[in-house]
Structure 1
């Protein structure tokens, strides 16, 4: 849920902290419509050209106000730069930008300095060259610099609501135009209703497609990796060979395969020592298969929160390149349009799509490398849907930067908004 921003006056300049930032979808001129859908009271655009949209709810000030995070980004047009600004005894605020654009996971306050520092380190995983600028004890120097930047930057834009005055205008027209005016208005109302029905049908069709491969995000990726970490390498003389998982009904359906290596190992011993959630099967005298379920439910992708294609090509790909040395293979294919079968009306006719329907695409991702390196992918997985995961155990491998006895294989798709 979008939170109200925090308004702080620096001398005569009101600065707003705590906007929710997201990629600009489509043309910047459409930002107002997106802000209305999100229920924001004010909006700001960051970047040249605009690449991030900042929204805030419930801002009551009638005077021009400036987004502190955007002012910080304007001060640092190159590189990835962050700082932690104390805003009070219980508020340490993180400001961060990359190439003059506010980062989506910045512009947030934390109740103590350690949590704010942890948030900065989390940003560093995605931006390894992140520079952290020092801040004075009370933050006054940073705040003064932001206030001076406001003189050359646009203020927050109030989000105008639509609908009420249009309805009133329609009533006035009907009253003055009589029956003929009513007929024209009725035709327009019917056309608007048909357009609304068409949009609803297409939104449902798009939602159905996106639900087929839900986004797992950072937390879902960490949960998946943790489940692999918890697989025992040896159980009662049986040694792990590999693990395979795929999403299915009720969560991820997984299968761990073990081989009997110890001479004294037997089926009875494995049954006694195995985790209670395992469903064991013994295809041969020397092989065992353990079936288990990981209750990991993703969320259908929200088109309004997916990154723009140009940001994926610029920022996300750069972050992926930064972690490339930790993997043996890291492949990202070119974007392919997400195909949505056209919905049909009551007469079975295909419905034409609305002109502003989101144009989504996905990129195939394939990853191979040490299991420990998977942690580097988690912060980059906000818009990723994983299709397959497997783990191979190679006891004879010599550990190194790209080598490990436990090798991770991941396959998924990255969702994005085409421009």
Structure 2
């Protein structure tokens, strides 16, 4: 993709192209292992198609969060592949084609609604036909409560001025859960609605461009000879490459760490769960966070920081009785953010403009140490001085994941 293609800043077509095609897939390799059908796959499927829906008024159902949007009517939604769902069939749910046209984005079961009369938003669906990537994709009631709860907590922190102005949130204000009963037992079928534009909302008189993080350093599958977008953006800006890159890295750090300090949350800020917002001159304004049900809530950290927690959902609530709690902060920052976002960004820009990677790393470490690591508990990071990554395996219920110590933290 050429940077000129992004000058139409509110184009859903251009944004969907970024999500689907300027995308190298997960560095785990599991993108190509467990997938949705070819007809609905973001890499190979149709540009848009209809969702399925089922009337759930005869079932027990629950709307969580705000009573507005697509999830407050008399139906819930299903992925087109779920036409063969044994869970829905066993519960007696009658599937019909919805009037909603959607486009799949990188996560495969998350859809951008293409309804101009109402406005764009996303619907994140339960997918019950198989795993996608390395994990199961059911959205249970706990997932949905946590999604809305985290969204509300982050919005509150932004409203109180506790978050950096360099971070935005794709809010998830509403979820719907239908309780299905059959031979499978009780199954919680959840759907989450996500907003299209980042909160706090930008001034409509100064439109911004949202670009998925992975699209900045990914290859365009439709135009593989195009320069990487981050390279084109730096050239367009006229800034020195080192200055531009360091500012972008500081934006990431400010966004991530202000959430840690304000909410005691660890955001899973890898390249698929984050975007960047650019102004009219393609200078980065904000890191934008999405996927609220993947955010971890750190109870001991909240107590240390004096944050009054009334978290309703226990989903991803971390406490000292969890076997991997001592290394969790490192795993989320050093590994998920560090090696899935910071490292490829630094690598691509440094390679394109012949920058000194070690010098960039050192400046980032100094910035994080001086600005953000004060006030955290002494044992916030592992006491052995290492950083931790996980083994690259499927996450199966009932099995403990292995976390592997690595020397010399690179980004702090």
TM-score grouping bracket, smaller chain normalisation: under 0.3
TM-score (norm 1): 0.24
TM-score (norm 2): 0.24
Larger strand percent: 1
